[in-house]
Structure 1
Amino acid sequence: MEPLSKESLRRAALDARKAFVRTLSDGAKARLEQKLAQTLTSLFAGVSVVAGYHPLGSEISPLLAMEEARAVGAIAAFPSFSNPAKPFRFIAGDPLEPGPFGIMQPARRHPVVEPDLVLVPLIAVDGAGTRLGRGKGHYDRALTRLKKSGARLIGVGWAMQRLTEAIPADAWDVPLDGFASPDGLELFSR
């Protein structure tokens, strides 16, 4: 059997994530997101800036985890686009304003910050840290620079988003350092 192309794998994984989230009651979803926050708390010690994201569609929400990061003294930052054609920057503050692509982002008057821990949304991830995103390359462009600066990149998702099979990696894919779900934290060895 031929391995799935990245695009067909992306579609299948996104459909699976949507189907999984449809099975969750609001209470069950909230409990899982609370477990995710508890899982991520161990990573916040000694971190100055934690970058998260405002969830879209069936993505797991890291917003409770971002509150935990603030509670231990970290600056919470979110992606912000000033120009949809350029890589986003991380801006300190709450994601309260609509930006391009339907993504909520902080007001641009807030400061641009350099995160040392990035919570990365994904459609799927494999055991090598290869991330399957939405396919637009926004995170790939931002993560390349952040990885070089030493930021830790932790994929965030529902446990079922961790695939056992390998995701085909392209030259521009930036491998993640780990994957956090309500079931726990897995760090990938390099």
Structure 2
Amino acid sequence: MEPLSKESLRRIALDARKAFLSTLSDAERTRLEQKLAEHLTWLCAGARVVGGYAPLGSEISPKLATEEARAVGAIVGYPAFDNPAKPFKFRAGDPLEPGPFGILQPKKSAPIVEPDLVLIPLLAIDHRGTRLGRGKGHYDRALVRLKKSKARLVGLGWQLQRLDQEIPADEWDVPLDAFASPEGVEWFRQAPLPF
């Protein structure tokens, strides 16, 4: 059997995520996102700057984890586009303004920050840390720089998003260090030592 294309995997993963979310009550979703935050507490506590994201649709929310990070003194930044054709940067502050692609982002006047821990949305991830995103490459372009600065890259999702099959990787794909879900954190590389 031939492996599925990235586009086919994207459709299947998005449909599966939406179907899973349709089975959850708001209270159950909040409970699962709290479990995710609990698994991330020690990582966020050791970070100086945490890169979060404003969830879209059926993406798991990192909000409870980023609130805990702030509570222990970390700066929290969010992706912000100054120019939609260029890689986004992380800006400190809450994502309150609409940016390109329907994503909320901090104000353009908010300071640019360099995260040492980046929480990343995804459609799917495999055992190598290959992330399947929405296909526009925004994260891959931004993560190249962050990987070079030794930031820890942690994909967030519901457990069903961790695939047993390999996701086809292109040369520009940046593999993630770990995958975190309400069930726990799975490390693919970069031992989980304190920062």
Q: Report matched runs for 1:5-154 at 5 Å.
A: 5-154=5-154
The one-character-per-residue Cα deviations of 1:111-140 (angstroms, maximum 9, x if unpaired) are 000000000100000010000000000000
Residue type at the aligned position of 1:99: G
Letter in 1 for 2:178: G
* Matches of 1:64 and 1:76, distance apart in 2: 12
In the TM superposition, residue 189 of structure 1 has moved relative to its aligned partner by 3.1
- Superposed CA RMSD in Å reads 0.8
One-letter amino acid of the counterpart of residue 103, structure 2: I
Structure 2 residues not aligned, in runs of 5+: 191-195
SS in 2 for 1:150: coil
Counterpart-to-counterpart distance in 2, 1:86 and 1:48: 25
Question: Aligned partners of 2:101, 2:57: CA distance in 1, in Å?
Answer: 12
Quote the offset at 1:92 in angstroms. 0.3
Q: Aligned runs of 1:145-164 on 2, under 5 Å?
A: 145-164=145-164
- Give the letter for the 1:184 counterpart: G
Q: Distance in 1 between matches of 2:48 and 2:37?
A: 17
Deviations 1:80-107 (A, max 9, x none): 0111111100000000111111101011
The residue type equivalent to 2:157 in the other structure is G
Residue 173 of structure 1 aligns with an amino acid whose one-letter code is D
* CA deviation profile, 1:39-62 (whole Å, cap 9, x unmatched): 111212331100000000100000
How far apart, CA to CA, are the structure 2 residues paired with 1:116 and 1:14? 28
Q: Which runs of 5+ in 1 are unaligned?
A: none
Identity over aligned residues, as a percent? 73
| Equivalent-residue separation in structure 1 for 2:189 and 2:153 (angstroms) | 13
Q: How many residues align?
A: 190
Q: Which aligned runs of 4 or more in structure 1 are off by greater than 3 angstroms?
A: none
Please report how far the alpha carbon of residue 75 of structure 1 lies from its aligned counterpart in structure 2 after TM superposition. Answer: 0.1
Separation of aligned partners in 2, 1:33 and 1:103: 20
Once residues 137 and 84 of structure 2 are traced to their aligned partners in structure 1, the CA distance between those partners, rounded to angstroms, is: 12
Give, in whole Å, the separation in 1 of the partners of 2:81 and 2:41. Answer: 27
Q: Distance in 2 between the 1:138 and 1:154 partners? A: 16
Q: What is the TM-score of this pair, normalised by structure 2? A: 0.96
